[in-house]
Structure 1
């Protein structure tokens, strides 16, 4: 069984009861398969696995800190998933910025941040997919997040700061994908 197949099983077990979140996770995983040409061949399964697992930290059965990227990474680490997948989940979609807003940077630092094409592709898959699985542009997704959370919320403050930086991750993924496509 590949990591992505096992990840789908784990995500279904932990996230399917969350209904709307499950639709989002399925769509992010599907979107990640469209982006695999933007990463090295030996990292494609890691990308798709991380896409399936990126929101498992929302599951009440594994929640411990209340910060879903960290909770997901802690659960995966405890269950001996490869560190590359654990770290992708820990740092997906600007988690380091939200950790700073929440005073949790030290806790997140136990998972090394690695800027990579695979992380860029995971960011792209997540941030071009709406909360119910809709296909969005990056700008539409950020506007949706900012509208959903009031300005005093740490999530809103995070995206007000992180949006331009993560937009670059999406741009890099699109550029890599374009270069990989046959001409």
Structure 2
């Protein structure tokens, strides 16, 4: 619980003034609280919820260095000796695709990537919560992103390229939710 409380305090102090970004983060946290039931260990549950609080912390103006929120957030978390959270934040929602388009993939790759159900669950929570913090389907989230950005925009291109990998992470999490009896077969 300590890591979760620390993450909540960090996110509140750095993101609460950012309007819809803060609403989105709070929605992702609510989703993570529900999704965390797929884990048996309290440590894993707390880590997912903490990562949900922190996944967009790199949008905080005081933390921006590269202008790419996954890296900026991860760098901040590394400075706080939160290396596992830094990894989860750095790579959430398949950030490698956008990092490559931005030409900063080498910077991202300095942070070791965690491949785990926790990482997939964080992506699931982010990709099933819209910009206003409301729970939506994965397809609705993709449609929303594509409707907000021009096809030539870097975010549009990155999400389009990342869609197959995002789908795998979402499906992996849905399978775990199904196995725990939290959703019906999709």
With normalisation by structure 2, the TM-score equals 0.94
| 1:168 Cα deviation after fit | 1.4
Partner Cα separation in structure 2 for residue 7 and residue 114 of structure 1 = 19
The answer (yes or no) to whether the contact 1:72–1:90 under 8 Å persists in 2 is: yes
What do you get for the CA RMSD once the two structures are aligned?
1.5
Pairs within 5 Å for 1:11-22 = 11-22=11-22
Where 1:18 maps in the other structure, the secondary structure is: coil
Pairs within 5 Å for 1:112-131 = 112-131=112-131
| 1:51 Cα deviation after fit | 0.3
Match of residue 73 from structure 1: 74
Question: Is 1:49 the equivalent of 2:53?
Answer: no
Q: What do residues 32-87 of structure 1 show as CA deviations (whole Å, max 9, x unaligned)?
A: 01111233513111111000000010010111100000000001111222x11110
Q: What do residues 156-181 of structure 1 show as CA deviations (whole Å, max 9, x unaligned)?
A: 10011111221111111011111123
Partner Cα separation in structure 1 for residue 131 and residue 5 of structure 2 = 23
Pairs within 5 Å for 1:12-161 = 12-41=12-41, 42-81=43-82, 83-161=83-161
Runs of 4+ aligned residues of structure 1 deviating over 6 Å after TM superposition are none
Q: What do residues 112-169 of structure 1 show as CA deviations (whole Å, max 9, x unaligned)?
A: 1222100110001000000010111000001111111111111110011111221111
The answer (yes or no) to whether the contact 1:26–1:52 under 8 Å persists in 2 is: yes
With normalisation by structure 1, the TM-score equals 0.95
Partner Cα separation in structure 1 for residue 159 and residue 23 of structure 2 = 22
The answer (yes or no) to whether the contact 1:39–1:121 under 8 Å persists in 2 is: no
| 1:94 Cα deviation after fit | 0.9
List runs of 5+ in structure 2 lacking aligned partners: none
Number of residue-to-residue matches in the alignment: 182
List runs of 5+ in structure 1 lacking aligned partners: none
